[in-house]
């Protein structure tokens, strides 16, 4: 495996994830989020807990400008009102023009026509990363009508070919969330088996991960880590924190609070002993 195909092993990923987490906390990346109304506060708190600096700028006339100065951008389609739709396109164009890495989270696309059309416009702008559940990834690739609202009705492995096709077509890292996360750059596939079911019982559990990915992509601009490494590192840190939060929780309510505490407490040295990663070439 050549240097262009790094990380060559799970241990390499864990090492780079630890480095990125340390850099993120030393120099908090300004993370621009255009996200849905249901999860805005939780997403901001997740970013603060992990060590990033959130900014929720979703106004037309400001979004594109702000994307140009941010370290990373998230565009989440959970509640795409008319102004937010226009701001999303403006921000994605601003990110592309300035080289700001950005993440597209195509929430609940497929059966819902407005957000599905918007997702197709945005993916044509070549996001650095695309994060979604299996049904959303299949729908974005044109291979499915989507899931049941925000819930997936397809398995992660069922979306593997769609993820690779999207990555190859748009040059994006594609992260498929599920019991085992699948992350690909079209040539390599990583499978991360960390996480906990309680993430699916808290509003914003998946949406906030997209923001953490944007933050890690911002940190990677300092370290030189590639986008696959940054996206996988974000997933690794987030899901390890979720496992720790679940162990300290009585249910979804206490889990949401414990997740913030666990994200703040997770240390770079903690990752090696907790990571469950498989990876390699396709």
Q: What is the tens place of the pLDDT at every residue in 209-222? A: 999 999 999 999 99
Q: Residue 80 in contact with residue 34, Cβ under 8 Å?
A: no
Q: In the prediction, which pLDDT does 147 show?
A: 52
Residue 161 CB coordination number (10 Å): 12
Sign of CA dihedral 278, 213, 72, 29: negative
- Give the model confidence (pLDDT) of 116-158 as tens digits: 999 999 999 999 999 999 999 999 999 865 555 445 556 899 9
How far from the centroid of its chain's Cα atoms is residue 202's Cα? 16
Half-sphere exposure of 183 (CA within 13 A, CB side): 28
Which is nearest to 50 in space by CA: 253, 182, 193, 218?
A: 218
Residues of the chain with pLDDT under 50: 1-8, 149-150
Residue 178 CB coordination number (10 Å): 18
Q: In the prediction, which pLDDT does 2 show?
A: 28
Q: Which pTM does this prediction carry?
A: 0.94
Grouping H, G, I as helix, E, B as strand and the rest as coil, residue 153 is coil
Query: Cα–Cα distance between 114 and 263 in angstroms, integer?
Result: 34
Greatest Cα pair distance in the chain? 46
Q: Residue 213 in contact with residue 175, Cβ under 8 Å?
A: yes
Q: In the prediction, which pLDDT does 105 show?
A: 98
Query: Cα–Cα distance between 115 and 58 in angstroms, integer?
Result: 16
Q: In the prediction, which pLDDT does 10 show?
A: 81
Question: What are 22's two structure tokens?
Answer: 């340390």
Sign of CA dihedral 240, 3, 131, 65: positive
């Amino acid at each position: 495996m050549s240097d262009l195909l790094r990380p060559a092993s799970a241990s390499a990923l864990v090492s780079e994830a630890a480095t990125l987490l340390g850099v993120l906390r030393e120099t908090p990346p300004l993370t621009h989020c255009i996200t849905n109304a249901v999860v805005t506060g939780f997403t901001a708190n997740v970013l603060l807990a992990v060590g990033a600096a959130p900014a929720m700028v979703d106004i037309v006339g400001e979004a594109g400008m702000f994307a140009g100065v941010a370290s990373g951008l998230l565009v989440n389609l959970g509640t795409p009102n008319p102004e937010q739709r226009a701001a999303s396109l403006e921000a994605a164009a601003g990110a592309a023009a300035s080289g700001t890495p950005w993440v597209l989270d195509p929430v609940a696309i497929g059966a819902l026509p407005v957000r599905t059309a918007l997702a197709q416009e945005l993916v044509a702008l070549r996001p650095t990363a695309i994060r979604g559940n299996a049904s959303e990834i299949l729908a974005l690739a044109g291979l499915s009508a989507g899931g049941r609202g925000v819930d997936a009705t397809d398995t992660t492995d069922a979306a593997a070919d769609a993820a690779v096709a999207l990555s190859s077509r748009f040059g994006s890292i594609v992260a498929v969330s599920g019991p085992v996360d699948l992350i690909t750059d079209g040539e390599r596939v990583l499978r991360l088996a960390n996480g906990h079911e309680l993430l699916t019982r808290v509003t914003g559990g998946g949406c906030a991960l997209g923001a953490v990915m944007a933050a890690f992509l911002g940190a990677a601009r300092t370290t030189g880590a590639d986008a696959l490494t940054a996206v996988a590192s974000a997933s690794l840190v987030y899901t390890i924190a979720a496992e720790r939060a679940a162990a300290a929780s009585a249910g979804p309510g206490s889990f949401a609070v414990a997740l913030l505490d666990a994200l703040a407490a997770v240390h770079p040295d903690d990752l090696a002993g907790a990571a469950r990663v498989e990876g390699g070439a396709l």
